[in-house]
Structure 1
Amino acid sequence: MYTPFIRNHQLNVIKKQAGQLQQACSTVSDPKVIESVRSNTSFKVMEAFPGASEQEQQLLGSFASLSSPQEFQGYVRSLEEYVLPFEKVEEKQLKKLFPKVKKLKVPDLAAMDLRYITYMGWTDIGTNKMYLAYHLNSRLVGVEARFTPVQKKSVCFLCNKHEEVALVSAITKSKPANASPDYYKAIGNYMCVNSDSCNKNITDVTVLERFISDIVL
């Protein structure tokens, strides 16, 4: 019996690679091409789990032998019990992350399926603010950012997918040693308006963790 070890972004990697292999099995007639896709997709899945045990590697690699849509769908469903959910967060914890926001509007925590969340994100349209919560180095941290809708689709800097985005900018807490008292630096980029979509797409947390670290550390 495995203990949960698959994080949401890693599950997204598996879904993406399984989908590519399924499409190749359904549309390509050359066995050599299919075998090449099997090898490539399996490698990319394993690459997302550098610390996987031998048992976990066997489970992760088993999709490479599948062929039919039903087999792929069944395989992805079978992984649900191994998904490591976003650590449960209470409303008071979120409010503690943003002590200066007196009337913080928090998301409906009860409605969230924490298995499919890499980061918790929500917006307050009334104040044009976006809030993020994430477990960085085993500590829950929060980011408050200015949220500017741009009414267009572009590539999100977190998930690298073409989605409806907004310009999100946050002021970093770090300052140079000789900085003046009124010094500040804002970090901004285009990000998915809908964090649910972003969480379904994200396959790597490197950029997310760098963005959060640059702001809160």
Structure 2
Amino acid sequence: MITFNTTVPAATSTANATAASSNAATANALGQQDFLTLMLAQLKNQDPMQPMENGEFLAQLAQFSTVSGIEKVNDTLESLGDGMRDFRISTAANLLGHEVLVPGNIARAGKDGTINGVVDLPKAASSVTVSYSDATTGTLLHTESYAAQSAGLMGFSWAGLPPAMVENRSPVRVTVSATTDTGTAQVGPSVFAKVLSARNGADGADLTLQIEDYGALNALEVEAFR
């Protein structure tokens, strides 16, 4: 069996050392063809009496394959990153002017003139009461009662806002009270609020939404939109 060795004669060792030194600065830029050229030069200049071992030869090939594979992975990740940035920009554009569901109790009439939201009941309730009041004056506007509800999400809506409040999109405060086997207590609702603007982070990694009445919100925190 023919074997190979990395040992080279003294006459060529100095020349190879000089070449290696000059190539060190551009090692990171070497491609497959450069690698093969260097490999052939190494084989031609080796000592015939002490040729390179097969294992060493295969190890070098494996090392190059690994580096080549890493470069391909990096290129793929970079391509995915560009795609994600484009996706975020598209998402931001689509959300402008729409409403997203956010935790809070200040709501305004949507395009259909209604206020909509959900409440996450921690346990089953024998009754649930949702109250709507003017967020500016505190005046009670409407109260709606719901029969027994299971634990979990419960939706609510009110379509009877005064026309002036619908036209002016006046803020309304939503209060939810649930009666359970341990008594009556308030439960924090989530309401739909309008997206005023959207902005990508400096590195394109985060998409921040400016929500009416609630300020900045990471898009990843949005549970639903309409």
- Normalization by structure 2: what TM-score? 0.22
Structure number with greater CO (CA < 8 Å, separation at least 6) is 2
Query: Higher strand proportion, which one?
Result: 2
Larger radius of gyration: 2
